[in-house]
Amino acid sequence: MSLPGADAAERAKIELAENAELERKQRRELELTFKDAVRAKAFIEDNANPNPFMTAGCVVLVFIVLWFVYRVFVAPCASGLWVDEEGARWIINHSTLMGKIWVSLEGEKIPGAILTDNLLRLEDIVGVWDYDDDIFIVGGGRLHRVRR
């Protein structure tokens, strides 16, 4: 038979060991939580402000995409078969993406044709395009689009 004080002492040792183990576990969890908090704070600080080069790159990319969409889907196109007041057939091919224009009058190509916004220049001829189906030539005359 054991002494009543010995059981109490042994129980106290066991409780002390359990408390020490519990305290170690709590301290370890606290350290892990603190490390996680430090990592989270560092992650937030690192990612709070984006890289300025990345931001500038995104802005430039957005403007390029907007320009492309405008040029391909929205910009007016002067391509088609045009007829002047005398019945001569003009064929205009207009690339809205690059802004190039090719003009032929009755099958003969006219070199140096330029279309800037709505101003058409063909050698010595200057005309103003109304973005629809008419080009009014300065000094008299008109081209009317028959077919797009």
pLDDT in tens, 63-107: 999 999 988 888 888 889 999 888 889 899 888 777 788 888 888
% of the chain beyond a pLDDT of 90:
23
**For residues 4-33, average pLDDT:** 85
User: Is residue 22 predicted with pLDDT exceeding 70?
Assistant: yes
How far is residue 130 from each of residues 47, 67, 99, measured CA to CA in Å? 51, 22, 17
CATH topology of domain 77-147: Lipocalin (2.40.128)
Handedness of CA 18, 21, 23, 29 (dihedral sign): negative
56-71 pLDDT, tens digit per residue, is 999 999 999 999 998 8
Distance of alpha carbon 60 from alpha carbon 65, whole angstroms? 9
Residue 51 contacts by C-beta under 8 Å, 6 or more apart in sequence? none
CB neighbourhood size of 80 (10 A): 15
**What is the C-alpha separation between 102 and 113, in angstroms, rounded?**
6
Note the pTM of the prediction, 2 decimals. Answer: 0.56
Q: Above 50 in pLDDT, residue 1?
A: no
